[in-house]
A and B are shown apart, each in its own frame.
Chain A
């Protein structure tokens, strides 16, 4: 070992990468709080606390040092993504279980940081949507639509003590994705559906702004070279194309592409979840294929599945294909012939 290079890029660490991701999430989180009330802070806090505790426990059990691995910030990102993906104001144990599946199972049982095949946050989400589908549909209604938007203190109460006397319907509503699907199936006209208060100018009320903020954060990540353009572009393009074709084929059943891009977790997924380097494809062409696959699957699940949104399943399915995609999309090495055979995993 002779140690070179001795020069290292400054301000560069896993912690710095995770900090940039967290910073890029801030506009979206603030928009979320603005449109859906301060409940998001409660779920964020819970996910972070549970996540850190589970991470520490797993590290202890695996005999690994706590400090460098807690400091890497990866659990913070997982926690934030799950908090944003899960419904706000769900019972506290839902966040605990979700983080247990994310950090305990998907991350550490697979070998910890960098070793996991599946996106931890999406494993946590998928476990909850399978295990507790009812809770997963109770999303807070946007301010102005809800009869009641809990304050921070009330949000804590709801999360820890349950709704009690308050009806869940007072502060939650069907998600627009859900609403569209059920109402379109019932034969309601597009214009009538979109005229409802939970819908905004192009997508879901409030959510469309949150989505725009996620996109803004994603562009910051692009500018900071934390992510490359391949995954967001391929993901959103595949989504839009699939949604567009479905809408053209049957406008009465399928919402227009823009609605899909600005609803649910699409933007969060495109810039923050699908771009998780550990579980995404790594070659330029591989990223395009992987993300296009995820975007396409997301639309198929949204259009024909029983679940309101499909980000977790689409990402997990695409994760499965990553080793295969990477093996067959290795770029040409300098000095090798074009189309020459490359190493295959």
Chain B
């Protein structure tokens, strides 16, 4: 099996450090006394809380319901009681708190009754709704609600890509999952293929994971293909993997579905298998704990597990650790508070040591060497975007296609001046979003104001009309009642009219005192005009009535 690959431009080869965590099998985390489940773990609207403090819950019970279209549910990771529903620290670069359900475990780990889904016979929409209620979201990083992605909609999907590239250094959760649970992943892929109604299924896996490649090749049926792709960051980017495998470029601002291709992470396929075959909501995920820790490895971790507990399960950070990263070293972010819980998007907890993660050297000016442009997988010119972002000339930055940047970090990785390029791009993007929001709000305010003015004007008019009508009525009544008053009024009116005419008579016209010749000319013109008017009137009168409307 050798498929022709389409290498994308750019990319980098950071040290993989996969061996630090990929040797040992996935370990299950012990049951913890307390879990914190954020209601916003996915892209879209946060789930609506269904429980209150003091309520008892069972494992798998829905504690947050999908709210709106782009949303998905949240579930209790174990049985126990709800301590609080309140804002708590969540793993997010902003460090802002978000609404969470805090659950005190009762140690029984009692589960709600779960019902496997008869996916082959279930109506497609019913299947998707079940998947929404089981809280499935993409585990590859974007945590987009899966049920939406399983809806082919108007776009016919011909190819399903299972993303097992796992190109970020250090992270091995997908690697271990593919090695250990290949058959389940393939069953998940079958359900996806069924829901999407597509023929072709491709697994894309970087060639630094030979065991995972072998395991999946052994597990797939003949009509699915496992493709080994060269190890090159960011081959696991959705657009990059799509191009690599098919040669098709996801159009700017669009999705791979525009090409008839849907991409899922292998971990999502595994969760889908559990959801459908076991009726189990997305209660846990595999998380890599690696870097400067005593016992690095992969952990089957319940959603809501405090990261401090996860770190402890891996033996804790070694002396000299200088903080943790959520995610990988290329696209991850600094963990600000270890009490924050594992969410569906947390794939790795990477403990930094000063040797492998020294502080970024002070940035020097850009020397336009173009290393960033050569490394960019989106074929952008990062140094130009940086130039304009720094100058706060965001329009110009946007004209260099800032929004095609996937923030993969290749540019900043290779920059000899150590400029934090991606930070500049994130900043520029958020500024542009902010301005667009401001503009939208201003537009709305203006529209509201204009409507208010229109409404006031209309009300005034309506009122005036009403008054006029009332007055007329009254007048009619009054006239009938008092003819003497009416007579007086008529006299007054006539006097006013006379005065007006007299005033008009003395007002000099600019055609007064003209030479005789000009006067004569004017008279002729007036005569012609009068004649023409008469003709026009005659024509209008003689025109036959027509039922035709204007074209």
Binding site for B on A (CB under 8 A): 1-9, 12-14, 16-17, 68-69, 72, 74, 112-115, 228, 277-278, 280, 282-283, 326, 330-336, 342-345
Contacts and interface: CB of A to CB of B under 8 A. Distances in A.
Given A113-B365, A114-B368, A334-B404, 14 more contacts: A3-B334, A3-B420, A7-B14, A7-B15, A14-B364, A14-B367, A68-B362, A280-B368, A282-B381, A283-B381, A334-B377, A334-B378, A334-B379, A344-B399
A330 B381 CA distance: 8
B404 A333 contact: yes
27 contacts: A1-B423, A2-B426, A3-B333, A4-B325, A4-B327, A4-B333, A5-B409, A5-B412, A5-B413, A5-B422, A6-B352, A7-B169, A7-B330, A7-B409, A8-B418, A14-B416, A17-B367, A114-B417, A277-B367, A278-B368, A282-B381, A326-B384, A334-B8, A334-B9, A334-B377, A335-B249, A335-B252
A6 B416 contact: no
- The residue among A3, A115, A278 with the most chain B CB atoms within 10 A of its own CB is A3
Nearest to B14: A7
B230 interface: no
A118 to B, nearest CB: 14
B416 A332 contact: no
A194 B12 CA distance: 51
A13 B334 CA distance: 24
Q: How large is the interface on B (under 10, 10 to 19, 20 to 34, 35 or more residues)?
A: 35 or more
Contacts of A3: 333-334, 360, 420, 423
Interface string B506-535: 000000000000000000000000000000
B364 A334 contact: no
A277 B371 CA distance: 10
Interface of B: 8-9, 12, 14-15, 93, 169, 239, 243, 249-252, 254, 325, 327, 329-334, 352, 357, 360-362, 364-370, 373-374, 377-381, 383-384, 396, 398-401, 404, 407, 409, 412-418, 420, 422-423, 426-427
A15 to B, nearest CB: 8
Contacts of A332: 379
A282 B368 contact: yes
A115 B417 CA distance: 14
A179 B224 CA distance: 74
B434 to A, nearest CB: 16
B413 A331 contact: no
Nearest to A17: B416
Contacts of A280: 368
- The residue among A1, A5, A336 with the most chain B CB atoms within 10 A of its own CB is A5
Contacts of A6: 325, 329-330, 332, 352, 357
B204 to A, nearest CB: 17
Contacts of B15: 7
A345 B396 CA distance: 8
Nearest to A6: B329
Given A1-B427, A5-B329, A334 B249 contact: yes
Contacts of B414: 9, 12
